[in-house]
Structure 1
Amino acid sequence: MSFISHPVLNIIVVGFHHKKGCQVEHCYPELVAGRPSELPPAWRHLPALALPDGSHNYLSDTIFFTLPGLTEPAHTVYGISCFRQIPVEQVVQKTEDMTRSSVQKSVCVICRSPLFGRLAVKMELVVRAWFLQGDFSQTKLLEDAYNHLNSCPVQIDQTLEGLSVQKLVDSWRHKALLLFKLLLLRRKVLVYGAQAGSLSAALLTLVSLLPQCLEYGLSRSANVVLTRPLSPISSALPEEKNQHNVDSGVIIQNELFVNGSGQADELSPKETGNLLEEKDRVSHQSLEESAIVDVVDRQDSSAGREKCYSVGEKYKTQKSVLESQQSPTMARDMSVDGLHTLTGQIDQTECGFPFPLFEDGYLCLPYLSLQYLDLLSDPAVEGFVVGASNVLFKQKRQLFDILVELNEMRIETCDMVLRRQLTLSTEDLRFADHVVRHGPTQGDTWIRDQFASYLIYLLRTSLLPEGSREIDSFNAQFMAAFKCTRAYQQWLKSTNNGDIESFMNLAPIHPFSGQLSVADMKLKFAHTMSTTEGGRKVTAAVASTGRAVATTSRAVGGAISQARGALSGWWSALTTPTAPTNASESSSTGDEKLASDAEDVVEQLDDDNRKEQAENPDPPDKSIEENKSNFSKISVI
């Protein structure tokens, strides 16, 4: 078990001045000799991150962000900002600049490792005690906290503390897999939420689903050489060096990455943005969701199946896909520990993890202030996953490919190709349903193990020759786009085209492959009703009918109430996916009738989708910036 010694680099106090805005009031240890209230050029805009947009609407919050290192700009350092505000009457030692009714300050911890959740809990207690003093000129408490945090070595696996993927899956349900696959495509993703604290935590929680990414894969997630500077400071990048320890005592004049500062955008105090604690609201939401063009599900056939081979010169014969599917270890109704058992013998480091995603101009910024707007359009930025709480970001749709709305639990894009790439196959839905059903009882570690196993099987299947039918289980369009990314090419290079003995022993198929059943039809139907425009209309119609029947029943009596109960029971049976059944159960008369009804509904939805496509053909494959006129047609995943 590896440990992190001396994890904290600096503790910085940021206050809000009624004339000067956000400014540094104290820094320990000093970054600029003899000037404890100044920052080096590379961190000159840190105050805008410490006191984010709309922070005055909350009494307290904790924000996570990233910055480029000082002694080595190719290395990323990590910030935890604990914000708090109190009435000015509670301040014992007032100063002349306290002219407003409340005092807003933030204490930032800059550390060399992403110990977001672990340090946040400790710093929230320290900041609360510091505010209770009522005298902000006394900083000894903060200096003692700095020494205490550095006196205790921290284990690397403690970086995952405080980031609950269980809440993420509970909120997004099957769409959690869609977000996971979206990260792998290295597209320009904007995650929007009203509150900066819950927003940054949700983004980092999503990233933590990638095996070892949060612990080791963010070392270059905030670094890019800009083609045009965002400030007069030069953006030249020194020669890259192999350095694991960052010393905060050396100051450079090169500003590789600029963090903005300025006026905060006001948000309504009613917008809490605490989305990780919300439950699934699919049956009650009135969101205008449009359909992702679904790939027609197919039944697996045993005839004409090719044998599985690896990429490169070392072709190794594998057992047939039909034989693999019939194996009890590859059953579609996977046991709780079945999936991880199949991949537990694989060394993740040897397998090429962390996956080289956040490198070469692809950024991961848990929180972004408004002054970063120009950064997102810089040609040197190939892609990004960023969090923003300022509504002005949403109005710059030409800057991003896809928008993830945390408050409204939806995903928007006007890229028709990307929509098809993110379509979940039947096998994907089985995996997502497996995680959703067992996740609440198994916990965060189990959920992360499931996604790690999924990624291992995806990478193993990607090594098959082009055109192999096994690739379709992961969505062939997604797989083609994924294999074209720079991260995948780098992974091939680092693993010698995936030539790992334990890795190659895996069957190159989807772990949830298998024949279609009634449970699949119900699962597909439920997913369609929650993610398509047609499904939304049907759900709204059923809800409206239920309200009308309830109103009428008061006058007519119990007969209509019974009819309403029968209608609700029938609808719930269709829209609620059940646990998979075995072959004998699926052949019963009642299930055949249910399957026929579900197939008719799904077929009708597919006909509606094809009709809409005929009337509105897909736009040419152009960038979002070239299709500004199509913004009114933005589709929701």
Structure 2
Amino acid sequence: MDALAGQENPGSSGRPGPVLHIVVVGFHHKKGCQVEFSYPPLIPGEGHDSNLLPEEWKYLPFLALPDGAHNFQEDTVFFHLPPRSGERKTVYGVSCYRQIEAKALKVRQADVTRETVQKSVCVLSQLPLYGLLQAKLQLITHAYFEEKDFSQISILKELYEHMNGSLGGSALEGSQLYLGLSPRDLVLQFRQKVLILFKLILLEKKVLFYVSPVNRLVGSLMTVLSLFPGMIEHGLTEGSHYRPRQSIAEEDIPAVSFSLGNSPTPSQISSSKDEDTEIGQVSLVEPSRPEVSATEPEVDANGSIEYLRPPSHTSPESVESDWETLDPSILEECVTDEGEVWNLGPGPCEHHTKDTITSGSIPITVQPQSKTGQAVFTPGLISGLEEDKYGMPLAIFTKGYLCLPYMALQQHHLLSDVSVRGFVAGATNILFRQQKHLSDAIVEVEDAKLNIHDPELRKILNPTTADLRFIDHLVKHVTENRDDVFLDGTGWEGGDEWIRAQFALYLHSLLSASSQPESEKVLSDYGSAFIAMWKITHNYRVWNSNKHPALAEVNPSHPFQGNYSVSDVKLRLSHSVQSSERGKKLGNAVVTTSRNMVQTGRAVGQSVGGALISAKSAMSSWLSTFSQASTQEQQEEKH
């Protein structure tokens, strides 16, 4: 073991590879979660068994060994760490957790005092290869535990060398980037809510995913992000640029968050339904911090000074217009990456063109066709991200908008930090979900619920008729092919890549339409209120500040534009039934009425008559509302 201490990052070819460290995190009965092993050492000059952590990575043990892990035999975590001093990019972490009975160990160390031993083996990488790293890491973690002697660490050193040898050379294909992320499963579970969630993130709102165990949480969250062209490959490099809390020590964090199994018991949770900042006597309010000066400079890794004006208020609510999103001075220089760049291979948006759709008709299928060649990404002039010819990925996760697939309770303060504009984050602790005032929407993955707190925001995100056609097109193709075992991850129409291509088409068309003069009528197919709100976001302003000639080949209209038809009435009614409690009650009433009609033969006339009257009344009321909405849209178009 001592032979490994102090060794530098060798890499198989004499240069640093994409994998930075292999780390083992364990749970100590007195000290809590702590790093037990790292190769190479996390801090140069320290031994591989040092517990010391870089200040930027102080939350690493709590991310690698998740909250409530003792409830599961094994689990997987995707998490993001901020760059260390001198670096610029997010560090991508994948952790595999397992537990074993202490009596099964061949070598039981002195600090093992509990009946079970919980540990996580973690990979810290410069590449966002979540699924690929997970697949390799699960095998090694299993073998490491099968040794039943955690002092045998040679297998971890071999893992480090193997990963750098296999990942640091040739270009990586898209299938490797998206391994384990299934849009088909996402569409089958969330249906029309997938598009609402997609547009919610475009608005840079505070979105919290909630479910347990962690592997299901991070899988759902990252699958949603994979629908954005180029986002996984190049769009998350600034998504974890937050400052660890400096004002209090870790020991000052409530005891409920310090133990491995810290999911609160019912007695710890207040029975009241209010949205107070205290839950069950456990204060989650960050101690007072000195107010940030509006002219306080932000110094990046290259020594450049950037002035970022914080909001004029400290409310946790997101107000994009209060943020200074662009500094005109950066238009004069091109932001380049001085570090080594690994080729991530073709991005999904570069492989597809869209079929021409005749205005006034409802398209039956929109199928981008595959092209040969490799996507070309170049540094964005303003965003600093690696962009394709369409300006993808959008600069969503920049300037204080965070992407945290899994958040530890110790990071709770980030939800209300004035330097954080917004976030897409995942949590398993119920304390996060109960703090509704700290987010704009909560995605309950287990029940496929999307709870948007602000009624006005819900109205803005309500799907248009064209949007409903788009998502119905996706759901039908996925549903029709759900039993095709050969389609899972490899097929085209109805498959994972096909779904990503549809969302790339949707976003390209939206951007193309938004850049056209006098396109109000076209943009109404996406929702006029949504477009107005989107155009003041940071990501749209960055995109719109540069020219993207490639969009000239994209039809500047909604892929599913067209005149209203009877099919649209059915779609709207179906959406209303699925999306509202009132609609669900109406749907249940129709089902009950139908059942009674079948069972009661003698009263067929009365039952049918009553059912027709009820259905006519419900339909007339709905059509009246629909007609009013259409009239209002026409009036807005005239003005």
**Same fold by TM-score greater than 0.5:** yes
SS of match in other structure, 1:152: helix
1:12–1:107 Cα contact (<8 Å) kept: yes
Residue from 541, 551, 568 that aligns with 1:489? 541
Could you state the TM-score of these two structures normalised by the residue count of structure 2? 0.70
Q: Is the 8 A contact 2:357 2:559 kept in 1?
A: no
Q: How does 1:554-565 map to 2 (within 5 A)?
A: 559=601
Letter in structure 1 aligned against 2:172 = Q
CA contact (8 A) 1:457 1:510 kept: yes
> 1:602 is matched with which residue: 618, 622, 626?
622
1:602-630 Cα deviation digits (max 9, x unpaired): 33676999xxxxxxxxxxxxxxxxxxxxx
| Structure 2 equivalent of residue 297 of structure 1 | none
Which structure 1 segments of 5+ residues have no match? 234-259, 269-323, 572-592, 610-637
The aligned counterpart of 2:71 is 57
- Conserved in 1, the CA contact under 8 Å of 2:361 and 2:563? no
Could you list the runs of 5+ residues in structure 2 that have no partner in the other structure? 1-14, 251-256, 266-353, 377-386, 482-492, 630-639
Pair 1:542–1:118, CA change in 2 (3 A): same
Residues 46 and 261, structure 1, Cα contact 8 Å, conserved in 2: no
Deviation at 1:263, TM superposition (A): 5.2
Q: 1:330–1:511: 8 Å Cα contact kept in structure 2?
A: no
Q: Distance in 1 between matches of 2:594 and 2:210?
A: 34
Residue 40 of structure 1 is matched in structure 2 by: 54
SS of the residue aligned with 1:155? coil
Q: Quote how far apart the aligned CAs of 1:326 are.
A: 10
Q: 1:529-587 CA deviation, whole Å, 9 max, x = no partner?
A: 0002220221333455678789xx5xx8xx489999999xx99xxxxxxxxxxxxxxxx
Q: 1:139 aligns with which of 146, 153, 171?
A: 153
Aligned equivalent of 1:363: 402
1:448 positional shift: 0.5
Q: Determine which of 356, 363, 373 is the counterpart of 1:333.
A: 363
| Distance in 2 between residues matched to 1:392 and 1:446, nearest whole Å | 37
**In structure 1, what is the equivalent of residue 528 of structure 2?**
476
Say which SS state the counterpart of residue 109 (structure 1) adopts: strand
The correspondence for 2:216, drawn from 182, 192, 198, is 198
Matched, 1:266 2:305: no
Letter in 1 for 2:557: I
SS of match in other structure, 1:35: coil
Counterpart residue number, 1:31: 42
Task: Specify the code of the residue in structure 2 equivalent to 1:265.
Answer: N
Match of 1:526 among 563, 569, 574: 574
**Shift, 1:224, TM fit:** 3.3
1:539 to 587, 601, 612: 587
Q: Aligned partners of 2:403, 2:602: CA distance in 1, in Å?
A: 55
Q: Is the 8 A contact 1:325 1:331 kept in 2?
A: no
2:19–2:123 Cα contact (<8 Å) kept:
yes
Q: Deviations over 1:318-364 (max 9, x none)?
A: xxxxxx99954884223252x5589x999871110111110011000
Which is further off, 475-484 or 327-336? Answer: 327-336
Q: Secondary structure at the match of 2:99?
A: strand
Amino acid at match of 1:35: G
Rounded to whole Å, the distance in 2 between the matches of 1:370 and 1:455 is 34
Q: In the aligned structure 2, how far is the partner of 1:597 from the partner of 1:512?
A: 30
Question: Where do residues 27-426 of structure 1 align in structure 2 (5 Å cutoff)?
Answer: 27-32=38-43, 33-36=45-48, 37=50, 38-153=52-167, 155=172, 157=174, 158-224=176-242, 229-231=246-248, 264-266=261-263, 328=358, 331-337=361-367, 339=368, 349-426=388-465
Q: Scaled by the length of structure 1, what TM-score is found? A: 0.70
Q: Which residue of 2 aligns with 1:450?
A: 502
Alignment partner of 1:515 out of 545, 563, 585: 563
Q: How many residues align?
A: 489
2-structure distance, mates of 1:479, 1:399: 24
Q: Secondary structure at the match of 1:367?
A: coil
State the match for 1:590 in structure 2.
none
Change (3 A) 1:564 1:174: farther
Once the two structures are aligned, what percentage of the paired residues are identical? 39
Question: Following the alignment from structure 1 to structure 2, what is the Cα–Cα distance between the partners of residues 131 and 179?
Answer: 39
Aligned match of 1:8 in 16, 19, 38? 19
Compare 449-458 and 82-91 and name the one that shifted more: 82-91
Offset at 1:476? Answer: 0.3
8 Å CA contact retained: 1:61, 1:84: yes
Rounded Cα–Cα distance in structure 1 between residues aligned with 2:264 and 2:187? 27
Q: What one-letter code is carried by the residue in structure 1 that aligns with 2:622?
A: V
- Offset at residue 390 of structure 1 (A): 0.5
Higher RCO by CA contacts (8 Å cutoff, separation 6 or greater): 1
Instruction: Tell me the SS of whatever aligns to 1:509.
Output: coil
Provide the alpha-carbon RMSD of the alignment. Answer: 3.6
Listed one character per residue, the Cα deviations across residues 440-482 of structure 1 (whole Å, up to 9, x for unaligned) are 5431111101100100000111123467211100000000000
2:207 match: secondary structure: strand
Looking at structure 2, the residues matched to 19 and 608 of structure 1 have their Cα atoms a distance apart, in angstroms, of: 65
Whole-Å separation in 2 of the counterparts to 1:146 and 1:121: 14
**Cα 1:341/1:600, change in 2 over 3 Å:** farther
Contact 2:59 2:410 in 1 (8 A): no
Bigger drift between 64-73 and 204-213 goes to 64-73
Q: Distance in 1 between matches of 2:374 and 2:241?
A: 34
